[in-house]
Structure 1
Amino acid sequence: MTTHAPYPIGTPGQPWGAAEKSDWRARQTRQRSYETDVLHEIERLSPRFDVVQYGQLDYSPETYPLFAFKSREWRDELPCALVTGGVHGYETSGVHGALQFVDAQASRYQGRVNLVVVPCVSPWAYERIHRWNPLALDPNRSFRDDSPAPESAALIALIAPLRGRFLVHIDLHETTDTDESEFRPALAARDGVESVPSEIPDGFYVVDDSDNPQPAFQQAVISAVAKVTHIAAADAKGEIIDSPMIAQGVIEYSMKPLGLCAGITGARYTTTTEVYPDSPRATPAQCNAAQVAAVCAGLDFALAHPHG
């Protein structure tokens, strides 16, 4: 069986301890600015929306305030919708797609749905272009009670008062070449297991919830994004990232048991988008536009079919 080369941290077959995690953390370098890229945009958009600080991450010597946009004309009789980006900080179009949606499209939904948009759940990872937080934890496997990831715990606390009121949750992600070259090998090394190569799909796809499948909703998202960028095809085994493709560009995960962000609201309609920014057939602008198209298509479908 083909495997990855040994990861440079730790001993093969042995899970990381505190020393290995410290070594890993010391290797992470700041490559871009959350303040410049995200906080300045939030400030620019703040005259048009309610902006709430829902937490702060204290990773000495750095601190990261966490912000969400909310509809200014909030009406309790309306359903709620959650849009999240940057759960994995390295997935750039998730962050900038969320901000672009707020800037260009959110006003279309005024008076129809109460919006909550969290553009960057994991700012430390955004700055370091990484999947994990500094504790070597994946926030997108940590959305559960008593979460060990502060990023996940803060988001859960933000939406807790609204549980039961969400109609839709769209979580914006990317699948990148570095998933295969760095992040999966790092995960295997951290957990002391063998790293087995997989295949990165070329194109956009979505992840439905196997415990609450909504195929028509997912197809509406796929159809809208197909006008912006190409949709991923299945591999020779009929799979996308080792999961069966159940419809064009659609796979399923069990959201809540896996601790995934898209499982936190209990919404009727949920999806995790996956843009492929490393494709020679896609530009950064297309990737952002694909995320915006996914959000709009998801909201439009949910509002047109609020009861399924």
Structure 2
Amino acid sequence: MFTRLRSLAVSLRSRFAVARSKFHLRRNRLRQYVMLQRDGWIPKVVLDERYEDQVVWVSRIVTLFSIVANLLLIPPPINIAIALVLTTLDVFFERVSLMVKSIVVQPLPEKWDSDSWQGNLYQYDGRMWGVGLLFADEEMARIALETVRAWNYDEDVDNDGNIKMSFIEMNDGGYMTYLYPSDERETIKRAAEQVEREQIEKGKIRDHYQNTFQAIIAQDFDNPPGSNFRTFKQYYEGGRVMLNTFTSDRIKDMASGPTDGLPEGFGGVEEVEPVSLKEVKIAHVSELDPNSIEYQHLKYIVPLLDD
């Protein structure tokens, strides 16, 4: 009896999570065409510029209807009610803003197989921590590292936080590892400035809505007592982390364990250099900002993947 009720509760919770995720994604798609913002305490509607003609014509119709209503000399209190409605509509359409959209594509992996990502390695050399992503085959290890380097314009050292890496501890005892490009990369800013400059040159006043299309590399891992991640969490005090990738073949014969006697240079992929990250984030899932990539992914994307 209790087992059935528990199973039913789990099923209902899972269905609710999936429905919530689908609603969130539809709402985000709708925001590409219409958004509600606040200008002080007064609400303002922002529409895609494709609706400019419709807004102009509706505004003209409201004005025309107002003139006709006055000419007909509709008696009170009907005329008062109509006047209030028309005034409200007139103010509403006067405050409608138009937006122009642009799309920026962050560097994407040429292909991806999340099952190939088998774990993480952690090493401290006395100066900084190193994190190695362990893959089943060299191709995926190469693609992962090349993609991450592309986010940093193929430079060895990330001084501007172009690469975001985080480790999120989950309620079930495991942890998620995230890698994704920052939405404040210089390329993103320059693309936005170019669109806004073009609008000024055309003599148009538009709110700019920039869509960013990017990859989020994420994987969940176990975190048993004595795991290397627990050691990393305990001793990492912020600051730079050297990121690299490995393949299983490079460490499978190391009897002393994956973090002992690592290959010279902490390297795993030939001809692809590791990259020094500005910092990484370690947090519990309950501490995440609702606007963060990690929170959004765990709440709205993961339920769809598990469905």
TM-score calculated relative to the size of structure 1: 0.27
Q: Higher strand share goes to which structure?
A: 2
Whichever of the two has the greater Rg, that structure is: 2
TM-score calculated relative to the size of structure 2: 0.27
Q: Higher helix share goes to which structure?
A: 2
